[in-house]
Amino acid sequence: MTPPFDPARQQASTVCLPPGNWATVLDCLCDHFKAIDRAQWLDRFARGRVLDAQGQAIPAELAYRRGMRLHYFREVPNERPIPVQEAVLHEDEHLVVADKPHFLPVTPTGEYVEQTLLRRLIRRLDNPHLVPLHRIDRHTAGLVLFSANPQTRSAYQRLFPERRIDKRYQAIAAAMPQHEFPLVHKSRLVHGEPFFRMHEVEGADNSETFAQVLETQGDLWRYGLSPVTGKTHQLRVHMAALGAAICNDPFYPELLQVEDDYQKPLKLLAQSLRFDDPLTGEERYFETRLRLDW
């Protein structure tokens, strides 16, 4: 069941109204977001789910003004529950570390709003200030680091673009005796078709992964993967490019149009995070409690 609306505990999407000749804010939103019908927007206005820049609910008949900044709350009617459970591994004044199970998105996207790690943690910890400092794919399980305090958020956010955080993953995929490990794979990744799939193209490298073999079991090997860069689906694309797509990957090397099969999760796990705390200088290390079985 979708919980009752509480704007203090939900994160809004933001839009600046584009140039146009609309009479009202409602007219502009209906034309700008064509996938949402007028009746749905009217319902959102009636329930106070469209706010101005100051966070005050506005009426649907409010006159349009170019550049007006609005906040609105995404909703998915009859959102399907995802039958998996996250775990909180660490919580302090500044950081929350969670173990995300396979299939659970980190943030609202597409058909998922309430059934996301962020929304679940906001409700569970009663902290509307939670913001993910990085993201992992919906199909990937493992560690996700959240900022819990807006005053210190930027210090932790800088860890990622400045590459001051060590991220390690595990994956299970086909054996690759044709390669000598450990190895480094570099390539240029760009968005392909459909838009959410990445692929390698010619050009200057913009992605880099360190790979090693941790364990072997017949035709399957367990790999340790360390992404030097953080491109979308980087580990999944790089493993497929090397000749061994990660087990149960529905996107690579080919796109499979299949429903989620909770018995066959992607065999990719965000295993550990290590960094020097930007506030105290102490080393911080977190490791998932989840495991990849063969």
Is the omega angle on the peptide bond into residue 182 within 30 degrees of 0, that is, cis? yes
* Residue range(s) in the chain whose domain bears CATH number 3.30.2350.10: 87-287
CA of 205: how far to CAs of 160, 234, 253, in Å? Answer: 19, 12, 20
Class of domain 7-72: alpha beta
User: What pLDDT does 108 receive?
Assistant: 80
* Residue range(s) in the chain whose domain bears CATH number 3.10.290: 7-72
User: What pLDDT does 114 receive?
Assistant: 82
* pLDDT of residue 7 exceeding 50: no
User: What pLDDT does 2 receive?
Assistant: 41
- Report DSSP letters for 51-110, one per residue: E-TTS-B--TTPBP-TT-EEEE----TTPPP-----EEEEE-SSEEEEEEPTT--SS-BT
Question: Could you give the CA distance from residue 39 to residue 45 in angstroms, rounded to a whole number?
Answer: 10
* pLDDT of residue 243 exceeding 80: yes
Question: Could you give the CA distance from residue 112 to residue 200 in angstroms, rounded to a whole number?
Answer: 29
This model's pTM is above 0.85: no
Classify the C-alpha dihedral 210-216-219-222 as positive or negative.
negative
Tokens of 14: 């933001």
Into which CATH architecture does domain 87-287 fall? 2-Layer Sandwich (3.30)
User: What pLDDT does 6 receive?
Assistant: 45
* pLDDT of residue 4 exceeding 50: no
Q: Lowest-pLDDT range, 2-11, 29-38, 46-55, 145-154?
A: 2-11
* pLDDT of residue 120 exceeding 90: yes
User: What pLDDT does 140 receive?
Assistant: 98
Proportion of the chain above pLDDT 70, given as a percent: 95
Half-sphere exposure of 90 (CA within 13 A, CB side): 18
Predicted confidence (pLDDT) per residue in 195-228, tens digit: 889 999 999 999 999 999 999 999 999 999 999 9
Predicted confidence (pLDDT) per residue in 14-58, tens digit: 889 999 999 999 999 999 888 778 888 888 888 888 999 888 889
3-state secondary structure (DSSP) of residue 70: strand
* pLDDT of residue 75 exceeding 80: no
> What amino acid occupies position 95?
L
For residue 193, what pLDDT band results from cuts at 50, 70 and 90? confident
Residue with more model confidence, 114 or 62: 62
- For residues 24 and 63, the answer to whether their CB atoms sit within 8 Å is yes
**Any idea which residue has 């996107």 for tokens?**
251
For residue 77, what pLDDT band results from cuts at 50, 70 and 90? low
User: What pLDDT does 39 receive?
Assistant: 86
Mean pLDDT across 252-264: 89
User: What pLDDT does 59 receive?
Assistant: 93
* pLDDT of residue 257 exceeding 90: no
